[in-house]
Amino acid sequence: MFENKDSEKTGLEELGEFGLIDHLTGNLKPRRPSTRMGVGDDAAVVEIGNRHLGVTTDMLVEGVHFDLGYTPLKHLGYKAVVVNLSDIYAMNMEPHQVTVSIAVSNRFSLEALEELYAGIALASGIYEVDVVGGDTTSSGKGMILSITALGQADPEDVVYRSGARPNDLLVVSGDLGGAYLGLQVLKREQEVFKVNPKHQPDLEPYHYIVERQLKPEARKDITALLRSLQVRPTSMIDISDGLSSEILHLCKASNVGCRLYEEKIPLDPLVIRTCEEFNLDSSLVALSGGEDYELLFTVDQKDYPKIKGNPNLTVIGHMTDADSGAMMIGRGSGSAIPLTAQGWNSFRKP
C-alpha cells in the first residue's frame, strides 16, 4: 500500500513565485568565472570578452497571464517581446536579440499565428532587436509563449539590484497603476459581453490605461536619459509585480531598508478617477497592481540636482539601514506602515 502524504506537502501558493525560485535555486551556485550574475536579478549576466551579456527569459501562459477574449494576438506578440526587453533595460543594458518559442493547440489557424508574429515583428523593429531563433511545438490546450532576450553593456555600466546604499534616493519613471486598472476595465467589459454579445464597449475614455495593459512599452528612453544626464543608478529593477514587491527586492538584494512616501507616488489623473469608479484605493493599486514596466532605481544624493524637476522621473523616497525596515510613510497621517509584497502570485488559488 502506498502511503498518502498529501497532508505533508507544501502548496506552491504558500511560497509564491519568488519564494519558489529562491527555494529551488538556493543550491545552484555559479561555477564558471564568466557568470557574473546568476539567479536573483532582472537578467543573468555573463562575461563575453570585454563586454557583459544579459540574458532573461519570460513565459506567458494562456489563462494565467493573458486572456484572448480581450487580448488581440498582435498586441500579445508585441507585449511578449517588450516585457523581456524591460528586464534588459533594468540592468542598464541595451537589448540586441530575442528568441521566440511557442506552443499552440490546433484551434489556432495560420492566420492567427501570423497576427501574433506581426506584433513580435513590430516590437523588434521599434526596439531594434533581431529575432534569432526559438522553437515551435504543439500544446494540448491553449497557447504558451516563451521569449528570451539578450543584451549587452560595458562591465562598468551594468546596474544590479544589489548596489543601493542608505541615504540613496528612490526614484521611479512615469506613473503607476494604469496597467492594473486597464485590466479591470477589460474584464468588466468582457463580463458585460457575456451577458449581451451585441454589446459594443466604449473604451475610448479609458484609452491610456487600456493601452498600458495591452501594449506596454519598455523604458529605453529612461536609460538613455540617465546617460545623457551622467547619472548612473546604484541599483535598478523594472516594475512588473507592483511597486511594493520591487522595492522589497531592492532592499533584500542591497541589504537596506527604505522610506517610501505615499504622497509622492506618481498617479495619472485617469488612474485616480478610475480607482474612484471601481471603489479602489489608488495607492494600493500602485503598490500591488503590477505590469506597469516602469523603472525603479536608486541614485546617490549628489545626483539629485541632475534629475530634479525632470517630468519623466519622480523621487518617491530614500533608502535606510536594513534595521529600519521597509516602510511607507502614509499620506496626511505621517505614520509608518510596513511594506508587504501583495502583488502577482500565479500560484495563488482562486
Q: pLDDT higher for 200 or 148?
A: 148
Q: Which residues contact 337 (CB under 8 A, 6 or more apart)?
A: 327, 328, 329, 330
Residue 8 within any structural domain of the chain: no
73-82, 114-123, 313-322, 336-345: least confident range: 336-345
Per-residue model confidence (pLDDT) at position 69? 92
291 has a pLDDT exceeding 70? yes
Q: Are residues 240 and 224 in the same domain?
A: yes
Q: What is the pLDDT of residues 238-283, one digit of tens each?
A: 999 999 999 999 999 999 999 999 999 999 999 999 999 999 999 9
CA dist., res. 74 & res. 215, Å (int): 10
Cα 311-344-341 angle, rounded to 5 deg? 75
Per-residue model confidence (pLDDT) at position 25? 57
| Cα four-point dihedral sign 230, 236, 239, 243 | negative
Q: Are residues 175 and 319 in the same domain?
A: yes
What pLDDT band is residue 334 in, cutting at 50, 70 and 90?
Answer: confident
Task: For the chain, give the percent of residues with pLDDT over 70.
Answer: 88
What pLDDT band is residue 40 in, cutting at 50, 70 and 90?
Answer: confident
Per-residue model confidence (pLDDT) at position 199? 79
Q: What is the pLDDT of residues 200-236, one digit of tens each?
A: 888 999 999 999 999 999 999 999 999 999 999 999 9
Q: pLDDT higher for 6 or 300?
A: 300
Per-residue model confidence (pLDDT) at position 85? 98
Q: Are residues 83 and 221 in the same domain?
A: no
Residue type at 5 in one-letter notation: K
Q: Are residues 225 and 293 in the same domain?
A: yes
Q: Which domain holds residue 119?
A: 34-157
Mean pLDDT of the residues in the chain: 91
Strand partners, 313: 173
41 has a pLDDT exceeding 90? no
Q: Are residues 149 and 165 in the same domain?
A: no
Residue 266 within any structural domain of the chain: yes
117-126, 200-209, 307-316: least confident range: 200-209
- Whole-angstrom Cα Rg for the chain: 21
CA dist., res. 329 & res. 335, Å (int): 5
Q: Are residues 128 and 232 in the same domain?
A: no
Domain end point (choices 128, 157, 186): 157
Q: Are residues 166 and 145 in the same domain?
A: no
Per-residue model confidence (pLDDT) at position 16? 61
CA dist., res. 285 & res. 266, Å (int): 12
15-24, 38-47, 325-334 — most confident range? 325-334
What pLDDT band is residue 341 in, cutting at 50, 70 and 90?
Answer: confident
Q: Which three cell numbers stand for residue 173?
A: 519613471
What pLDDT band is residue 350 in, cutting at 50, 70 and 90?
Answer: very low
Q: What is the pLDDT of residues 6-21, one digit of tens each?
A: 557 777 666 666 566 5
Domain end point (choices 131, 157, 183): 157
Q: What is the pLDDT of residues 79-91, one digit of tens each?
A: 999 999 999 999 9
Average pLDDT over residues 34-53: 83
Task: For the chain, give the percent of residues with pLDDT over 90.
Answer: 79
What pLDDT band is residue 5 in, cutting at 50, 70 and 90?
Answer: low
Please report, for the domain that includes residue 86, its CATH number.
Answer: 3.30.1330.10
With H, G, I as helix, E, B as strand and everything else as coil, classify residue 102: strand
Residue 235 within any structural domain of the chain: yes
Nearest alpha carbon to residue 104 among 135, 71, 144: 144
Q: Are residues 272 and 329 in the same domain?
A: yes
Sheet holding 169-173, edge to edge: 235-238, 295-299, 169-173, 313-321, 256-261, 326-329, 336-338
What is residue 218's DSSP assignment?
A: -
Q: Are residues 218 and 315 in the same domain?
A: yes
4 has a pLDDT exceeding 60? no
CA dist., res. 276 & res. 285, Å (int): 11
CB 173, CB 312: distance < 8 Å: yes
Q: Are residues 207 and 150 in the same domain?
A: no
Per-residue model confidence (pLDDT) at position 345? 52
Q: Are residues 209 and 301 in the same domain?
A: yes
Average pLDDT over residues 325-338: 93
Residue 13 within any structural domain of the chain: no
39 has a pLDDT exceeding 60? yes
Residue 25 within any structural domain of the chain: no
Q: What is the pLDDT of residues 166-175, one digit of tens each?
A: 999 999 999 9
Average pLDDT over residues 47-65: 93
| Count of structural domains, the chain | 2
